[in-house]
Structure 1
Amino acid sequence: MLQDPRICLNSLSLANSGEFNGLKALILKENSSAYFVHCFAHQLQLVVVALATKHHEIFKFFREVSDLINVVGASCKRIDLIRESQRERLGLDPKVETGRGKNQELSLARAGDTRWSSHEKTLLRLLALYPSVIDVLEYIETSGEDSAHQSQAHGLQIYMKTFSFVFYLHLMKHILGVTNILCEALQRKDQDILNAVELVRSTKEELQRYRLEGFDSLLKDVTSFCDKYEIEVVNMEDEYVDPKYKRRKTNITNRHHYVVNNFNTVLDMQIQELGSRFNEVTTELLICMSSLSPCHGFSAFNKLNLLKLAEMYPYDFSFDEKDKLIYELGNYIANVKEDTRFANLNGVSDLAKTMVETRKHIDYPLVYRLVKLSLVLPVATTSVERCFSSMKHVKTEFRNRMGDGYMNDSCICYIEREFLQQVSIEDVMQRFQKMKPRREQL
C-alpha cells in the first residue's frame, strides 16, 4: 500500500524542510520511508548564499558590493553618469568596436538571494564597469549631497582599489561562473534527472580541479587587472599584515593568507556545501527512479537500480516480493520493448497510463508499484517552484475569490504561455463556436 504521508511530504516540500522541527521532521515521524527532494536549482542558489555568509572575507566582499550598488544606483543621475563614463571610454579606445550588438550600454545589476544567477551577473557587470564606477564614486565624494554620502563613497573607493577586493572579485566570478552553467541547465524544463545528477557531479569535480591547479592562473588575472588600473599588487612572499591589527605579527606570508585562508578555504566550503545540499541519498533515489524512464526505447533501464529503489521502501515491498521483483523486471523489460504501444512514451506518467490501458499493471504488479512510487516524487527542477511563483500573478488581491478550477486553468495558461502563443486566434474562435450552438457566428 502507498502511504499518504509520503505524498504529503513531496507535495508540500517547498513549505518547510526543517530537519528537526519542520514539516519534513513531522512527516518522517509518521512514515520513515518518506523522502524529501528539494528543487535542484534552489539548492544550488542556497549553496551560493551559504558561502557568502559563512566566510568572513566573502561576506564582507558581498556586503561592500551591495553597498556599492545602493550608492551608485541611488538615482537616475548617477546611473546616467556611469553610462556617460562608459560611452566616453569606449569612444576613446580605437580597438573597441561599437554599433548594434557590440559594446552596448550596461548598468550594475542588483543581486538577490532568490534570483538565480544574479550574483554572477553583478560581478561581471562590476568588472566591465570598474573604471566608470570609480569615476562616479569620485564624483559623489566631491559633489555629494551630504557628508555621509561623501564618506561612504570615499570608503567604497578605497576598498575597490585594494588587492583584496580584486582578488575576491575574480575568485567569486570564477566560482559563480562554474556553478552558473549548472544553474542554467537545472532551470530547463526538459532537463533529464540523470543529466542533472551528472552535471552536479561534474561541477564538484571542476571545483576540485580548480582548487588544486587554479591559484596561479587566478593570481595572473588579478595581477593583470591591478596593473591595468594602477592598483598596488601585493608581494606574495612578504609577511601578511592584518588590516585590523597592523602592528601584530601574523607569522604567515601573503601567499599563505590568500592560498590557504581564502582560496582553498572558500573552494572547500563550496565543495562541502554542494555535497551536503546534493546528498547521496537524494541523488541515488533520483538515479534509481530514472531507470524506469521509457524514453529512447527504455535505454535508461537498470535492474540493479530498480532493486535498490525497492530497498528504499521497506514498508511497500516484503522480502518475498523483493525476490519476485528480480524475475518480474526481466520479463517486464523484454515484453515492453517488443510492444509497439510503448515505443513513443515521454515519461513515467505516460508509462503508468499505458500500463493501465494495456492491463500490464495486472501482469506486472510489482513494477507498477515502483512506477506509482516514482510518480509521487516531485520533479527536481524549477518547474514546481515556477508554478508556485506564477500563482501570485494569477490570484492577486483584486482577484482573490476565484475557484480552484478557474485558477488551475489560468495558471496553466500562464505557465505554458510559450506553447499557447503558437495557437492562433482563429483556432480559438472556431473552438469556442463549436462548443455549443450559438445565435451569432464569430
Structure 2
Amino acid sequence: MALQRKDQDILNAMSLVESTKGELQKLRDNGWDSLMNKVSSFCEKHNAEMLVMEDVFVDPRKPRRKTNITNLHHYKVNCFYTILDLQLQEFNDRFTEVNTDLLICMASLSPLDSFCEFDKEKLVKLVKFYPDDFSYGETLCFEQHLDIYIDNVRRDERFKNLKSLGDLSCLMVKTQKHLAHPLVYRLLKMVLTLPVATASVERCFSAMKLVKTTTRNRIGDQFLSDCLVCYIEKELLDSVTNEKVIERFQMLNERRVVL
C-alpha cells in the first residue's frame, strides 16, 4: 500500500523494500517455531486436533499413495519455506541491484526543499548507467557541470517551491536553463522515463482495459485518450460541474434548443 501512494518518494520506497526483504528473510530463518507456537495455542483454545509433526504426511488428494515425508517436512519445507522463497524471489526480480541503484540515484535530482537530496556522487554514478547517451568526455566533465547547475538553481527563487521532477523539467525549459545545463537536462529526461512501472502508471493501463472493451474495439485514439483522462484524473474532474459541461457543449455548435 505504501508503494502505491502517489506521493511516495523513491528513497522511502526503496527503504521499505529493503526492510520488507529483511523481515521476510528473518521470518524464514527464525519464524517457524513461533508460528508453531501460535498454531498450537489456537488448537488448544478451540479444541482442534493438531497434527503430529513426526507422523508420515498423507496427501488428502491421494490418501493411499505413500509420500515418504513427515508432516514437519511438508509444512515446513514444502509450504513455509517455499512461500517465503517465492516472495523473496519476487522482490529480487522486481527490485534488482541495478534497478534499486537507478531509483536511489534518481532521487538525487529531486527539487524538493531546495534540492536537499542533491548528491553529486550518485548523479555521476547515474550517468554511467547510460554509456550510449553520454560520451566519455561528457562523463568526465559532468561532475564539474553539476556544481555549476546546483549553485545556479539554488540561487534562483523560481526553483524553490518545486514538487517533482516533472515540474523541474518544465521550469528548466520555461527559463531556458535547459540550454545552459544541457547535460543535466538530458539526464533529467532519461530519469523521467524510469517511473513507467509505478503503481499509478499500472492503474492507467488497468483503466484502459475498462474503457476499451470488446464492444468498443473500434474506438479512436483521440476519443480513447479523452475517456482515459476523465477516468484517471477523477480528482481534477470533481471540480468540474455539470453546468460547465453543458455550457461547453452548448458553445461548440449552434443548437435549436438550449441544453
* Conserved 8 A contact 1:355-1:361: yes
In the other structure, the counterpart of 2:14 is 197
In the other structure, the counterpart of 2:108 is 291
Q: Deviations over 1:391-435 (max 9, x none)?
A: 233333444443322221111001122331232223334555667
1:245-256 equivalences under 5 Å are 255=72
**Aligned partner (choices 381, 386, 389) of residue 206 of structure 2:** 389
What is the Cα deviation at residue 226 of structure 1?
2.3
1:216-365 equivalences under 5 Å are 216-236=33-53, 239-243=54-58, 255=72, 258-260=75-77, 262-365=79-182
Separation in structure 2 between the aligned mates of residue 397 and residue 229 of structure 1, nearest angstrom: 50
SS at match of 2:2: helix
What is the Cα deviation at residue 328 of structure 1?
0.9
**Aligned partner (choices 161, 170, 186) of residue 369 of structure 1:** 186
SS at match of 2:197: coil
Separation in structure 2 between the aligned mates of residue 408 and residue 311 of structure 1, nearest angstrom: 36
1:169-188 equivalences under 5 Å are 184-188=1-5
* Conserved 8 A contact 1:191-1:381: no
Q: Which runs of 5+ in 1 are unaligned?
A: 1-183
**Residues 348 and 437 of structure 1, relative CA distance in 2, 3 Å threshold:** farther
What is the Cα deviation at residue 351 of structure 1?
1.3
Looking at both structures, which has the greater relative contact order when contacts are Cα pairs under 8 Å and sequence separation is at least 6? Answer: 1
Separation in structure 1 between the aligned mates of residue 79 and residue 249 of structure 2, nearest angstrom: 64
* Conserved 8 A contact 1:189-1:381: no
Residue type of the partner of 2:203? Answer: R
SS at match of 2:57: coil
Q: Which runs of 5+ in 2 are unaligned?
A: none
**Residues 385 and 256 of structure 1, relative CA distance in 2, 3 Å threshold:** closer
**Residues 417 and 205 of structure 1, relative CA distance in 2, 3 Å threshold:** same
SS at match of 1:185: coil
Residue type of the partner of 1:383? Answer: S
SS at match of 1:313: coil
SS at match of 1:379: helix
Residue type of the partner of 2:243? Answer: E
- Given the alignment of the two structures, is residue 214 of structure 1 paired with residue 31 of structure 2, yes or no? yes
* Conserved 8 A contact 2:57-2:70: no
Residue type of the partner of 2:140? Answer: D
What is the Cα deviation at residue 360 of structure 1?
0.9
* Conserved 8 A contact 1:291-1:300: yes
What is the Cα deviation at residue 294 of structure 1?
1.5
TM-score, structure 1 normalization: 0.51
**Residues 395 and 336 of structure 1, relative CA distance in 2, 3 Å threshold:** same
Separation in structure 2 between the aligned mates of residue 393 and residue 248 of structure 1, nearest angstrom: 48
What is the Cα deviation at residue 325 of structure 1?
0.6
User: 323-332 or 276-285, which moves further after superposition?
Assistant: 276-285
TM-score, structure 2 normalization: 0.83
* Conserved 8 A contact 2:3-2:13: yes
SS at match of 1:186: coil
Separation in structure 2 between the aligned mates of residue 418 and residue 331 of structure 1, nearest angstrom: 39
Residue type of the partner of 2:230? Answer: C
Superposed CA RMSD in Å reads 3.1
Number of positions where the alignment pairs a residue of Structure 1 with one of Structure 2: 256
